[in-house]
Structure 1
Amino acid sequence: MNVQRAKEIAESPIMANVLFNGVPVYIQHVDDEEATARVYPLDQPENEYSIALDQLVEK
């Protein structure tokens, strides 16, 4: 996923279908300089982590 699209999803009030390794995740924040995002699995909001944007897939 590119930086611009990840930012659009993170800022949108509408939930997008984003996957990381096949698991639906919520994008908390996007770091455009590092090309990473803070995400958490939808069923585990306490399990937040950073990943490279190229590992996210929008369905």
Structure 2
Amino acid sequence: MNTIRAQEIAASPVMANVTFNDVPIYIQHVDETNEIARIFPLDEPQKEQTVPVAQLIEH
């Protein structure tokens, strides 16, 4: 995924089907400069992590 699309998803009120390592995730924030995103698994919101945007997959 590219950073622009990740930002669109993060800003949208509509939930998108995005995964990281085959796990459905929620994108909290996108850092366009460093091309990273703050995410968490949908079923484990306490497990926040920062990952490269390029590793996010939109289905």
**Smaller-chain TM-score bracket:** over 0.9
Q: Does 1:39 align with 2:35?
A: no
State how far apart, in whole Å, the 1-side matches of 2:9 and 2:44 are. Answer: 19
CA apart distance, 1:16: 0.1
Matched to 1:19, the amino acid is T
Residues 6-48 of structure 1 show CA distances to partners (whole Å, capped at 9, x for unaligned) of 0000000000000000000000000000000000000000100
- Runs of 4+ more than 6 Å apart: none
State how far apart, in whole Å, the 2-side matches of 1:35 and 1:51 are. Answer: 9
TM-score norm. by structure 2 comes to 0.99
Q: 1:16 matched to which residue of 2? A: 16
Aligned residues: 59
* Identity value in percent: 56
Unaligned runs of 5+ in 2: none
TM-score norm. by structure 1 comes to 0.99
Structural RMSD (CA): 0.3
Unaligned runs of 5+ in 1: none
